Amino acid sequence: MDNIQIAEMFNRMAKLLEFKGENQFKTRAYTNAARSIKGLDEELKVLYKEGDLDSISGVGEALKSKITEMLETGTFDAYEKTMSEIPQGIIDIMDIPGIGPKMARLFYEKLGVTSVDELSRAAREHRIRRLPRMGEKQEEKILRSIVRLQGDKDHGRHPMALAMEIAKEIRNELCSCPHIEKVTIAGSLRRKKDTVGDIDLIAISSEPERAIEFFVNMEKVEEILNSGTSKGSVIYPGNYHVDLRVVDKEHYGSMLQHFTGSKEHNIHLRKLALTKGYSLNEYGLTNESGNITSCTGEEDIYEFLGLDHLPPEIREDRGEIEASLTGNLPRLIERKDIKGDLHVHSNWSDGANTMEELAEAAIQRGYEYIAITDHSHSTGIANGLSDRRLQEHIDEIDRLNEKFDEIKILSGTECDIRTDGKLDYSNDLLEQLDIVIVAVHAGLEQDRNKMTKRIVAALENEHVDIIAHPTGRKLGKRPAYDVDMEKVITVAAENKKALEINSSPWRLDLNDINARKAKEHGVMIAINTDTHTLDHLDNITFGIDVARRAWLEADDVLNTMNLKQLCSRLGIPKD
């Protein structure tokens, strides 16, 4: 079991215990431990082997032995026992937005409801409204939630790039409201998480109620979830859940800090504030005598707590607070550090543009180099290049390099790694290229062992420079293929190969966790766009977002090197 699975099991256990009416602090201990585990850099199985499970905060003797049990058997006794006492469908009911353990228990005890379908029927038959603290509106709300949940295959998560466009559209509309002074995007979107569950916005207004009224009555709003005096929530087309929080100027900083999150980061900050005798909330810092220090800028809060102004991308409670306290915060990579793009397709394979157009677009973006990496012949559907056409491809790039002074065009390939780990081109041919990217495009269903061996074999080829989109995931479409990333990263480090962060909004592969792991093993990362049309070149910002979330600095990234450094690394003769 990996850390995520163990954390999820603790979270489910917490829900089950709450359903049973257990002591709330006991249930919280499980969620605290789950949170702590999700934030670990190290795999639990490694800590377990080294006898270091004691080092995890929020994990005491009892939970430690449950972790051990899970690592050895895949589950733990107390969990199995609790599960056997509670009907399976109850878990699904508690996953319905607006229904927690208390309500699930009420429906179960009073109506015998044990599944989402039964709950839906009870609501339609108006049996819910007769229960204590329930009524007509609750019934309608439950039915709406069920319908929305069932119509939503992706569990409400959206690729960050798409959500960002919607967020900007809403921000622009809100800015036209005379009662709104300023609108800022907050939440996981501000932290640039690869997928986001909702869109959080903060507005400054001296008339919050009128601002909220404007918000919930925007033309495109499909449903108003709630609408209070300082906060509103709506559903926007595409099943986007949008929250707006309205605040006066004086509290803007603390509000922005609070609603940027993450939740885990904020909890850690509040605990830190408490050790200094202050309570922290979205209105500022309160001391023991009740005096509030309001914060107009969020940097005020960090400064007060003795921390650097932490970049939103790393606010995940994955060590950023400790790093800041000890002066070990990374200087995160920025857009201006990028000197070129190393994964671009032309119309020689499945790209839309000529090599010349790509070179010109790269010049416009201030790049020193661009690698044209068209597909190899296995990817027939993408018009992959035969041996003969690859030779012509190399010649064409030579010709263009004569023409362009402002940029170096690198001749490359995105060569298929076949199912047996062999590459599409011979070593003789690969040797003639400036840069060799390899990738898995077919046979995605291979088992973990075969897939790992396949990629490792490619990493061990002396001509290979970069593995593209190393896990093959496509957000909302298909999961990563089954591969031992620890092994891939270790072998990449041994052979001095780079791994890619693919900047396509649908891939973002490697993700932040794996990219950070790669950095820790000393593996260089290439942030590439996998461009197929000119505008894709600008997707580089999404790749940089992932890199920043992975704590990467400019020195960790291959394409922050200038041309001379890059040529030296790739072994390209200077000309």
Interface with DNA, residue 306, by CB under 7 A: no
Rule CB under 7 A: choose which of 11, 48, 68, 78 binds DNA.
78
Cβ proximity of 457 and 463 under 8 Å: no
Closest CA to 59 of 80, 39, 78: 39
Interface with DNA, residue 287, by CB under 7 A: no
Task: Looking at 151-278, list the stretches that DSSP marks H as alpha helix, in order from N- to C-terminal side.
Answer: 160-175, 187-190, 208-216, 252-260, 263-275
Closest CA to 431 of 483, 475, 394: 394
**At a CB cut-off of 8 Å and minimum separation 6, what does 49 contact?**
none
Interface with DNA, residue 147, by CB under 7 A: no
Interface with DNA, residue 64, by CB under 7 A: yes
How far is the C-alpha of 328 from the C-alpha of 513, rounded, in Å? 19
CB atoms within 10 A of CB 229: 9
Rule CB under 7 A: choose which of 282, 360, 484, 494 binds DNA.
282
Rule CB under 7 A: choose which of 8, 40, 45, 58 binds DNA.
58
Interface with DNA, residue 263, by CB under 7 A: yes
CB atoms within 10 A of CB 543: 31
Cβ proximity of 409 and 400 under 8 Å: yes
Rule CB under 7 A: choose which of 87, 89, 197, 311 binds DNA.
197
Rule CB under 7 A: choose which of 11, 68, 120, 230 binds DNA.
230
Interface with DNA, residue 399, by CB under 7 A: no
Interface with DNA, residue 276, by CB under 7 A: no
Interface map 84-123 toward DNA (x if CB under 7 A): ------------xxxxxxxxx-------------------
Return the DSSP state at 574.
Answer: P
Residue type present at position 366: G
**Shortest separation between residue 271's beta carbon and DNA, angstroms:** 6
Interface with DNA, residue 200, by CB under 7 A: yes
Rule CB under 7 A: choose which of 84, 88, 176, 229 binds DNA.
229
Rule CB under 7 A: choose which of 51, 81, 132, 327 binds DNA.
132
Local structure of 554: helix, strand or coil: helix
Query: Binding residues for DNA, how many (CB under 7 A)?
Result: 62
Question: Furthest-apart CA pair in the chain: how many Å?
Answer: 83
Q: Which helix (H) or strand (E) holds 467?
A: strand 466-467
**Shortest separation between residue 4's beta carbon and DNA, angstroms:** 19
**At a CB cut-off of 8 Å and minimum separation 6, what does 257 contact?**
266, 282, 295, 298, 301, 302
Nearer to DNA, 196 or 566 (CB): 196
Rule CB under 7 A: choose which of 228, 238, 522, 571 binds DNA.
228
Site residues, DNA (CB under 7 A): 23, 25-26, 28-30, 32-33, 57-64, 78, 96-104, 129, 132-139, 141, 187, 197-198, 200, 226-231, 241, 243, 259, 261, 263, 266-267, 270-271, 274, 279-283, 286
